Structure 1
Amino acid sequence: MQDDPLRFGANYTPAQGWFHHWLDFDLDEVRADLDAIAALGLDHVRVFPLWPVFQPNRTLIRPRAVEQLVALADAAAERGLDVNVDGLQGHLSSFDFLPAWTRTWHRRNIFTDPEVVAGQEEYLRTLAAALADRPNFLGMTVGNEINQFSGAPHPDPDRISPAQAARWLERMLAACERGAPGRLHVHAEYDAVWYRDDHPFTPAQAAGLGAATAVHSWVFDGTAQRHGASGTATEHHAAYLIELSKAWAPDPHRPVWLQEAGAPAPLIGPEQAARFTEATVVNALDCPDLWGVTWWCSHDVSRDLADFPELEYGLGLLTNDRRTKPAGAAIARIAAQWRGRAHRPAPRSTALVVDVGGAERAPGRSVCAPGGAFFDAWTALTAQGVRPAVVLAERAGDPAHLAARGITEVLHVRDVV
Structure 2
Amino acid sequence: MPSAVRFGVNYTPSVGWFHHWLDFDLDSVRADLDSIAALDVDHVRVFPLWPYFQPNRTLIRERAVEDLVALVDAAGERGLDVNVDGLQGHLSSFDYVPAWTRTWHRRNLFTDPDVVEGQAAYLRTLAAALAGRPNFLGMTLGNEVNQFSAGPHPDPDRATSAQIDAWLERMLAACEEGAPGRMHLHAEYDATWYQDDQPFTPAQAARQGAVTAVHSWVFNGTAQRHGRTSVPSEHHAAYLIELSKAWADDPHRPVWLQEVGAPAPLVPAEHAAAFTEATVENALDCPDLWGVTWWCSHDVSRALADFPELEYGLGLLTNDRRPKDTARVLASAARAARDGARPAPAPRTTALAVPADPAARSACAPGGAVFDAFFRLVADGARPTTVLDTRAADTGHLAARGITEVVTPDQVPVP
Q: TM-score, normalised by structure 2?
A: 0.98
Query: CA RMSD of the aligned region, Å?
Result: 0.8
Is 1:271 aligned with 2:270? yes
Give the AA of the match of 1:384. D
Q: 1:363 aligns with which of 359, 380, 396?
A: 359
Is 1:404 aligned to residue 403 of structure 2?
A: no
Name the CA distance, whole Å, in 1 between partners of 2:332 and 2:109: 42
**Structure 2 equivalent of residue 43 of structure 1:** 42
Equivalent pair of 1:351/1:407 in contact (CA under 8 Å) = yes
Q: SS at the partner of 1:186?
A: coil
- 1:380 aligned to 2:376? yes
| Residues 132-164 of structure 1 deviation map (CA, whole Å, 9 limit, x = unaligned) | 000000000000001100010000000000000
- State the alpha-carbon separation in 1 of the partners of residues 386 and 202 from structure 2: 13
Partner of 1:349: 349
In the TM superposition, what is the alpha-carbon distance from 1:77 to its structure 2 partner?
A: 0.3
- How many Å apart are 1:3 and its aligned residue? 1.7
CA distance in 1, matches of 2:180, 2:82: 16
Give the corresponding residue for 1:200. 199
Give me the whole-angstrom Cα distance separating, in 2, the residues matched to 1:409 and 1:17.
52
CA distance in 2, matches of 1:65, 1:86: 14
- Write the mapping of 1:225-374 to structure 2, written as runs, cut at 5 A: 225-341=224-340, 344-356=344-356, 358=357, 362-374=358-370
Give, in whole Å, the separation in 2 of the partners of 1:205 and 1:377. 25
| 2:111 paired with 1:128 | no
Secondary structure of residue in 2 paired with 1:382: helix
Q: Alignment partner of 1:312: what SS?
A: helix
Alpha-carbon separation, structure 1, partners of 2:318 and 2:205:
33
Matches within 5 A, 1:111-260: 111-260=110-259
Contact 1:215 1:256 in 2 (8 A): yes
Partner residue, 2:12: 13
Other structure's SS at 1:390 match: strand
Letter in 1 for 2:188: E
Residue of structure 1 equivalent to 2:385: 389
Amino acid corresponding to residue 346 of structure 2 in structure 1:
A
Partner of 2:75: 76
**Counterpart secondary structure, 1:139:** strand
Q: CA deviation at 1:22?
A: 0.3
Once residues 21 and 372 of structure 1 are traced to their aligned partners in structure 2, the CA distance between those partners, rounded to angstroms, is 41
CA drift at 1:410: 1.1
Q: Amino acid of the residue matched to residue 227 of structure 1?
A: H
Structure 1: distance between partners of 2:232 and 2:343: 23
Q: Following the alignment from structure 2 to structure 1, what is the Cα–Cα distance between the partners of residues 183 and 67? A: 22
Structure 1: distance between partners of 2:105 and 2:409: 49
Residue 340 of structure 1, CA deviation: 4.2
CA distance in 1, matches of 2:203, 2:353: 16
After superposition, give the CA deviation of every residue in 1:99-122 in whole Å (9 maximum; x if it has no partner): 000000000001011000000000
Paired with 2:325 and 2:337, the residues of 1 have a C-alpha distance of: 19
Query: What is the alpha-carbon distance in structure 2 between the residues aligned to residue 182 and residue 282 of structure 1?
Result: 31
Residue of structure 2 in register with 1:416 after alignment: 412
Distance 1:343 1:72, change over 3 A: farther
State percent identity of aligned pairs: 74
CA contact (8 A) 1:125 1:175 kept: yes
Whole-angstrom CA distance in 1 between matches of 2:339 and 2:93: 36
How many residue pairs match? The answer is: 412
User: What amino acid maps onto 1:387 in structure 2?
Assistant: R
CA distance in 1 between partners of 2:383 and 2:270 (Å):
28
Whole-Å Cα distance in 1 between the matches of residues 236 and 378 of structure 2?
Answer: 11
* 8 A Cα contact 1:186 1:210, kept in partner: yes
Q: Partners in 1 of 2:197 and 2:255 — Cα distance?
A: 24
Query: Distance between the aligned counterparts of 1:329 and 1:213, measured in 2?
Result: 27
User: Could you give the per-residue CA deviations for residues 288-331 of structure 1, whole angstroms, max 9, x where no partner exists?
Assistant: 00000000000000111000001100000000110000111100
Partner amino acid, structure 2, of 1:396 = A
Match of 1:58 in 2: 57
Q: Deviations over 1:69-124 (max 9, x none)?
A: 00000000000000000000000000000000000000000101100000000000
- 1:346 is paired with a residue of what secondary structure? coil
> Which runs of structure 1 show a deviation greater than 6 angstroms over 4 or more consecutive aligned residues?
none
Shift, 1:344, TM fit: 2.0
Distance in 2 between residues matched to 1:201 and 1:105, nearest whole Å: 27
Separation (CA, whole Å) in 2 of partners of 1:343 and 1:176: 34
Deviation (angstroms), 1:262: 0.4
In 2, are the aligned partners of 1:3 and 1:343 still within 8 Å (CA)? Answer: no
Give, as a single letter, the amino acid of the residue that structure 1 aligns with 2:206: A
Counterpart of 1:392, as a letter, is L
Q: How far apart, in 1, do the equivalents of 2:221 and 2:26 lie? A: 39
- Residue by residue over 1:235-272, the C-alpha shift from the partner in whole angstroms, topping out at 9 and shown as x without a partner, is 00000000000000000000000000000000000011
State the one-letter code of the partner of 1:351.
A
Inter-partner Cα distance in structure 1 for 2:52 and 2:3 = 36
Q: Does the 8 A contact of 1:4 with 1:343 survive in 2?
A: no
Instruction: Give 3-state SS (helix, strand or coil) of 1:288's partner.
Output: coil
The alpha carbon displacement at 1:338 in A equals 1.1
Cα shift at 1:343:
6.0
